[in-house]
Structure 1
Amino acid sequence: MAPEVTAPSSGQGAPFGPDRAPRGGTLRRLLATREASVLGALVVTVILASFWVDGFFTDRTAGFLILDVTAIALIALPMTLIVITGEIDLSVASILGLTSAVMGQLWFLGLPLETIVPLCLALGAVLGAINGLLVTVAGLPSLAVTIGTMALYRGLAYVILGDRAVADFPRSWTSGATQRLGETAIPWVVLLIAALAVVFGIVLHATPIGRSLYAIGSNDEAARFAGISVRMTKLWLFVASGAVSALAGVFWTLQYSSARADNAFGLELSVVAAVLLGGVSIFGGLGALPGVIGGVLLLGTIRKALELADVSSDTLSVVTGLLLVISVVAPNIVARLKERRRPDTPSVPAHSNQR
């Protein structure tokens, strides 16, 4: 068993570390975190949208917003752990699309959904394992690997389904994917997201495995010398990412009642933007799951408000890209400003584990 390794503490790290923020009490430490900033931005965005966008502050809009971010929220959970280790997975949307294509083709061939869904989840795990093996065994950069498999998996989806769309899924399944909780407009899938968020949150913030992830992201060589199985840990993270992406593909297909090869095209950028907005460092070693959940909701809220304001889809893509750039640049600017305020402290890079 790998020895426990204490996660590095920083302004963007796990919110439970003892040196998380300046001294002055629990409340002050919490308010100084990046996650608090994200949640504060979310509250401000909701308030502004409620005043300026007609029909925004309704339970119906909240229900549609949750459905819109379901795939992003699901995939962002394992993506958070991957980025904390200093890696990235850009093939997640293509795994979703390939899962949707396979699901449609198998249904077209006459297999029951009770058989198709487990097969799709297993397929996602295998696709994630391929990514993980190329990164851990072949020693290739995850950025290059997953850019390649992003194109490969999407191409396979077109080979399987082509330009066809399979849309004759049973109504009991399609309506079930968007079923509301009781008399509310909130879809039941929020319970699944919450349950998985709790599981991933416990693993990341309350187990030796989570502390190992922070150690790997801060310095994988040091983590290896400390007895942590770096390769096996990363491999299983990619497997989890593939399986959860496949799960998102199943929900996407049933939610929109359409299996297509181009489903969720470009969604990986929204996932990465949400993770980085939530305070996870692109260089690894820093971040917390509560902030990522806030980042998902912030991104979804902004997009939903712009949609209700009749903003074009092209503009929504621009906004997503802008938020992605801001989430990468802003932490480095803040870190450099803090260093300039300490003239007696030697200047150090914002993060020493750049890849």
Structure 2
Amino acid sequence: MTDSSTSLHPAPSRSRAYPYYSSPAWKRFLLTREFAVVIALIIVAVGASTSIRKFSSPLTLGYLLLDATPILLIALPMTLILISAEIDLSVASIVGLSNVTLGALFDAGWPVELAALAALVLGILCGAINGLLVTVVGLPSLAVTIGTLALFRGIAVGILGTKSVVNFPEYWTTLTTSIFGKSGIPYVIVLVVILALAFVLLLHFTPFGRGIFAIGRNQEVAAFSGVKVQRTKFILFVLSGLVSALAGIYFTFRYGSARGDNAQGLELTVIAAVLLGGVSIFGGKGALHGVLAGVLLIGTLQSALRFVNVTSDVINIVVGALLVASIVSPSFFAWLKGKIPRAAKERASKAPANRG
């Protein structure tokens, strides 16, 4: 027999019991670390534009976006990898290897389009090597990608040595740096926007993306829930290799040269931007709009500091400080959030004794 009280008064949705979903939607969007990064970007950009002459010019905007493009590209798959509680430190070496591959094949007489396609295939292969070592062999991604970082960079340097390849077709070098009229926005940003939308849809609006979050929170639970954990991780590393190779091709045409040491150290800037954008180093948390804002925030800071003649060493210190702050701040605020209620309870427990 059916309980009439149950039918008359249905139980509330269990999902609303979670504190996150008990808040209004606007609060869940605005009171987040990602939105705070967006606000910080606006403040820094407005402050630099008002205090530094010519900072707000289209020329400055164009150079800022051109410099940020490879970081924006690589940050997209890196976000997904970090959310899955893995890491890929070999991205800059894949950029360098694809850069050298394109240059060496072009120097050997290949058409530039075919050489670029070969560089993309090589990037996929590099990502597959990382993915196989992590998912099939079972090695930690940190150890694997530190090793392949050195391996891929060594191959890149070995292909060209101290030689540089230049004189790429003017059509491609001009196309890479061209802007829309007097707006200061480069053509290449169209590619960045298309890829960003694709990754946003993949991460936030598909079962595959929900599986990435599940893996980052608890890999075993995700596996029991039907998520193909190893296959998902393998795909993420392949995507990372592919997009890193694409960034390497852009790097080649942007600077008009191929060298074995190109893009060295770029992985640290990418990881700093991703963590600054709200992605947890422990996995399971993050949003791409925060990451994109984090990349642009670091790029704006670097550009503004260069305008006031700050040395590259000091700029690296600032980026490093931001990286440390982005890692430490979640733990600090969690500690603070727990400490305040405890202090209130202690005061409440002592209040009757004091009145007595």
Instruction: Calculate the TM-score normalised by the size of structure 2.
Output: 0.89
Q: Which residue of 1 aligns with 2:4?
A: none
Q: Which residue of 2 aligns with 1:266?
A: 265
| Alpha-carbon distance between aligned partners in 2 of 1:309 and 1:121, rounded to the nearest angstrom | 38
8 Å CA contact 1:75, 1:271 repeated in 2 = yes
User: Which has more helix, going by share of residues?
Assistant: 2
The residue type equivalent to 2:227 in the other structure is I
Give the Å deviation of 1:233: 0.3
Q: Which moved more, 1:27-36 or 1:241-250?
A: 27-36
Q: Does 1:311 align with 2:310?
A: yes
| Alpha-carbon distance between aligned partners in 2 of 1:232 and 1:28, rounded to the nearest angstrom | 35
Task: Within 5 Å, give how 1:142-291 maps onto structure 2.
Answer: 142-291=141-290
Q: Which residue of 1 aligns with 2:134?
A: 135
Q: Which residue of 1 aligns with 2:9?
A: none
8 Å CA contact 2:280, 2:286 repeated in 1 = yes
Render the CA deviation track for 1:1-29: whole Å, top value 9, x for unaligned.
xxxxxxxxxxxxxxxx9968585533333
Render the CA deviation track for 1:22-59: whole Å, top value 9, x for unaligned.
85533333221111100011011112212322211122
Q: Which residue of 1 aligns with 2:6?
A: none
Give the Å deviation of 1:307: 1.1
Q: Tell me the SS of whatever aligns to 2:300.
A: helix
Render the CA deviation track for 1:291-338: whole Å, top value 9, x for unaligned.
001101101110111111111111121122111111111111111111
Q: Which residue of 1 aligns with 2:63?
A: 64
8 Å CA contact 1:99, 1:120 repeated in 2 = yes
Q: Which residue of 1 aligns with 2:82?
A: 83
Render the CA deviation track for 1:49-99: whole Å, top value 9, x for unaligned.
123222111221111110010000000000000000000000000000011
Residue correspondences, number? 329
The residue type equivalent to 2:294 in the other structure is G
| Alpha-carbon distance between aligned partners in 2 of 1:233 and 1:18, rounded to the nearest angstrom | 30
Task: Within 5 Å, give how 1:292-303 maps onto structure 2.
Answer: 292-303=291-302
Structure 1 unaligned segments of length 5 or more: list them.
1-16, 346-355
Q: Which residue of 1 aligns with 2:100?
A: 101
Q: Which residue of 2 aligns with 1:43?
A: 42
Q: Tell me the SS of whatever aligns to 2:342.
A: coil
| Alpha-carbon distance between aligned partners in 1 of 2:179 and 2:47, rounded to the nearest angstrom | 27
Structure 2 unaligned segments of length 5 or more: list them.
1-15, 345-356
Q: Give identity over the alignment, percent.
A: 52
Q: Tell me the SS of whatever aligns to 1:341.
A: helix
The residue type equivalent to 1:190 in the other structure is I
8 Å CA contact 1:20, 1:33 repeated in 2 = no
Q: Which moved more, 1:50-59 or 1:68-77?
A: 50-59
Q: Which moved more, 1:231-240 or 1:19-28?
A: 19-28
| Alpha-carbon distance between aligned partners in 2 of 1:227 and 1:242, rounded to the nearest angstrom | 26
Q: Which moved more, 1:313-322 or 1:219-228?
A: 313-322
Q: 1:312 to 1:33 in 2, by over 3 A?
A: same
Render the CA deviation track for 1:110-139: whole Å, top value 9, x for unaligned.
000110111111100000010010000111
Q: Tell me the SS of whatever aligns to 1:164.
A: coil
The residue type equivalent to 2:202 in the other structure is V
Q: 1:18 to 1:118 in 2, by over 3 A?
A: farther
| Alpha-carbon distance between aligned partners in 2 of 1:24 and 1:70, rounded to the nearest angstrom | 36
Task: Within 5 Å, give how 1:307-346 maps onto structure 2.
Answer: 307-343=306-342
8 Å CA contact 2:72, 2:192 repeated in 1 = yes
- Higher gyration radius (CA): 2
| Alpha-carbon distance between aligned partners in 1 of 2:170 and 2:314, rounded to the nearest angstrom | 34
8 Å CA contact 2:58, 2:182 repeated in 1 = no
Q: 1:304 to 1:19 in 2, by over 3 A?
A: farther
| Alpha-carbon distance between aligned partners in 2 of 1:183 and 1:38, rounded to the nearest angstrom | 28
| Alpha-carbon distance between aligned partners in 2 of 1:321 and 1:93, rounded to the nearest angstrom | 17
8 Å CA contact 2:62, 2:185 repeated in 1 = yes
Q: Tell me the SS of whatever aligns to 1:263.
A: coil
Q: Which residue of 2 aligns with 1:120?
A: 119
